[in-house]
Structure 1
């Protein structure tokens, strides 16, 4: 199931990919024009993910931020939930260094960050996913704004987790 929001006036693009057996992003061969940031969540068992031709273990329930220029493919993409968006949809460059599209989540670490939410955070993200899906059923002139707010909440939640796990106290 792919849920897609596009605004032709601003070139804003946001989508949620769920249960898609063909989901990948091959930046250098197929998707070079799409400048999409990705937050991928592994809802299945531990699996392999290949990022720029390097194979990693993608732990169960882990969340992984991926850059616009990274190629990736999953061993079992049907168990992945992915939020993808471009800068025209969401980027708070002038407002906040931590949660913008050039903030900590996407540029805060030189290593690949596999972020592991605890049970409480997993429940929050699951509930947020339901709200996202519900919002895609609401077709009105302010749908894009609501989706941006929900995405900001997701980014804040995942950024907090990433900082706890990747920045020494």
Structure 2
């Protein structure tokens, strides 16, 4: 079952996920949209190059530039909600939900949140309420749907922080915000800004101060975070585009393809050419 709302470039829809239609979710029609996927236990899916099997109800937040493949649906039905930025943009509404750099665009590349037992019934019901609103003809349905969407995002953001950043529970709020801001800046600028100094300048701190802050918070070092984001995009382009390796290097801001080759090989243990060949062989198998 699918229901959607569309008006003045704004679009949001929900598809019920089950074993009968699991391949539909992988179709190109949903690729351009932001997706929030709620699935009970027993689902298997791959996002970019990481595989997940849900052991309990989980929520996945997926940006359009991420690659989703639902491999196996569980016994119980789930939901795939998709929408565009015209309907709701987390960057514009960041003060409301504070999820950019956490649920979306987080430096750990963790798109999944296992839902606590206290939140699972609420979030599952919120999806059902959205389905009901989309089926109605009420003039206020757009705002009601947006309200439920924000509630889902806020609850999931809180759960994600407890699961992934529990060691920061006693950290001052400004330090957590600093981490989130760095995440967002890397996502915006990784193609043209490759050094810790570049991001230290954007944050108006010294490079050593930036590294010390991440050390104090026991986070991955900034240089590794920057390089990991660049290489994730490199893998996406090698796997899902027809760009040559030189074109991938130029797309990621490297004028010297040989340097890009060395960086890719040293970090991932294989050359770009071998990575592409192995990925293609896996897809064909």
Please indicate the TM-score interval, normalised by the length of the shorter structure: 0.7 to 0.9
Tell me: CA distance 1:100–1:38, structure 2 relative to 1, closer, same or farther (3 Å).
Answer: farther
Aligned to 2:126: 128
Q: Which has the higher strand share?
A: 1
CA distance in 2, matches of 1:116, 1:153: 16
1:14–1:85 contact (8 Å) kept in structure 2: yes
Structure 1: where are the runs of 5+ without partners? none
Q: 1:137 and 1:106, CA in 2 relative to 1: closer, same or farther beyond 3 A? A: same
Match of 1:35 in 2: 32
Higher helix share goes to which structure?
2
Residue 106 of structure 1 aligns to a residue in which SS? coil
- Gaps (5+ residues) in structure 2? 170-285
- Equivalent residue pairs, number: 162
Aligned residue in 2 for 1:70: 66
Q: CA deviation at 1:106?
A: 0.6
Deviation at 1:115, TM superposition (A): 1.0
* Aligned counterparts, 1:78-117, within 5 A: 79-96=77-94, 99=97, 102-117=100-115
Q: What corresponds to 1:141 in structure 2?
A: 139
Separation in 1, partners of 2:136, 2:29? 29
| C-alpha RMSD over aligned residues | 2.5
Partner of 2:155: 157
Q: Which has the higher contact order (CA 8 A, sep 6+)?
A: 1
Take 2:49 and 2:116, find their aligned partners in 1: how far apart are those partners? 29
The answer on whether the counterparts of 2:38 and 2:78 sit within 8 Å (CA) in structure 1 is yes
Quick check: 2:41–2:54 contact (8 Å CA) kept in 1? no
**Residue pair 1:12, 1:88 contacting (<8 A) in 2 also:** yes
- The answer to whether the Cα contact below 8 Å between 1:22 and 1:77 also exists between their aligned partners in 2 is no
Q: CA deviation at 1:100?
A: 6.1
Q: Tell me if the contact between 2:79 and 2:127 (Cα under 8 Å) persists in the aligned partners.
A: no
Determine the C-alpha separation between the residues in 2 that align with 1:37 and 1:101. Answer: 14
The aligned counterpart of 1:2 is: 2
- After superposition, give the CA deviation of every residue in 1:41-99 in whole Å (9 maximum; x if it has no partner): 22241x32122354333433111111111121112247431221110000153442572
Bigger Rg, which one: 2
